[in-house]
Amino acid sequence: MLKKIAKRLKKAAHIAIFTHQNPDGDALGSSFAVKYALEAIGKKATIYLEKPMPEKFNFLGTDYRIADENTQSDADCAIVLDCGEYSRLGATSETCKKIPCLLCIDHHKTGDTFGELYYNEPDSAATAQIVYQLVNLITKDVPQKAYEAIYTGMSTDTGHFKFSNVSPKTFKIAAEVLASGINHRKITTIIYDTVKREKMMFLGAATERVELYCNGRVAVLDCPGEFLAQFGLTYDDVDELPNIPLNLEGVEASILVKDRDENSKRVSLRTKDVIDVSEVASAFGGGGHKSAAACVLSGNIEENLKKLIDTVIDKLPC
């Protein structure tokens, strides 16, 4: 299937690249890697995002277009990366739907099957791991910038290669990417080892807001936007936030609650591989991976959150 996708991309003149709302390192790394590979063979490639991407990922590139429901594109082919559901494209979905040919590559366990060609590899640690194979099908001379983007995607979606989604294939591809000559230390310094003073103060305060359930096996962190604002931060500044409650000793599953809009909350679920949180998220209209998933709560949010917490607790092994 990847060969068919690469062949279709090489036939197109202008390719539009889409990914999910609030893109993480994997979504952005995959998008820029495909963009650079296509440009290397003379194609026009445009990344469409719903809003400006987090500043810390600017080293990947800043050539992208902000799109809303009215944005028009003259692309003759679109590829959706790290996203298997139209609804997760947000405001860019209308632009995507109007493009004649639609391709999709994803690695999430849950999602829809859409597009002319759809490829999903749930066992892959990151979409960037699949994109590595794709860009090498597109061109024999993959730009180093594409490899930097792939390394970024793989590193961020594996917790810098420490999560259980890592496989021997993951390390093999990472080694091949490093062999291309990229400066991986430059990337890790930007992503992991540079912290604003305000963020450090926030992280300390955030731990004090954690509530424990089921004898300390489940941790819940409610982090409203107004709390972040006290430190001059936004959610984009703290994308590692879901791991704060999970890192506590004795905690096996964590729940992070964030503001989405006036009438809903976004909930991120994490686990130390003791339950499948994608099943929990799916029960509340979301999805994701076994160890990391998310959903949106609306209506009676307090009541629905209690139900979600109870669902997580019920799934814990005795």
CATH 2.50.20.20 matches 197-315: no
Sign of the four-CA dihedral 93, 95, 101, 105: negative
Per-residue pLDDT of the chain (318 residues; tens, 9 = 90+): 899 999 999 999 999 999 998 899 999 999 999 999 999 999 999 999 999 998 899 999 999 999 988 899 999 999 999 998 888 898 999 999 999 999 999 998 766 777 889 999 999 999 999 999 999 999 999 999 999 999 999 999 998 998 888 999 999 999 999 999 999 999 999 998 888 899 899 989 999 999 999 999 999 999 999 999 999 988 877 877 888 899 999 999 999 999 988 899 999 999 998 999 999 999 999 988 888 899 999 999 999 999 999 999 999 998
Alpha-helical regions (H) of the chain: 2-11, 25-40, 93-97, 127-138, 144-157, 168-179, 184-192, 197-207, 225-229, 243-246, 277-283, 301-315
Distances (CA, A) of 110 to 61, 183, 269, 282, 295: 29, 34, 14, 8, 12
Q: Check residue 76 and give its pLDDT.
A: 95
Q: Check residue 113 and give its pLDDT.
A: 73
Could you tell me which CATH number the domain at 2-192 has?
A: 3.90.1640.10
User: Which pairing describes strands 77-81 and 14-19: parallel, antiparallel, or unpaired?
Assistant: parallel
Secondary element (H or E) of residue 65: strand 65-66
Task: Report long-range pairs for 269-275 (Cβ below 8 Å, ≥24 apart).
Answer: 269/242, 269/293, 269/294, 269/295, 269/312, 270/242, 270/243, 270/245, 270/246, 271/246, 272/246, 273/164, 274/316, 274/317, 275/312, 275/315, 275/316, 275/317
Q: Where in the chain is the domain with CATH 3.10.310.30?
A: 197-315
Q: Check residue 42 and give its pLDDT.
A: 97
- In angstroms, how far is CA 124 from the centroid of its own chain? 13
Q: Check residue 100 and give its pLDDT.
A: 93
Q: Where in the chain is the domain with CATH 3.90.1640.10?
A: 2-192
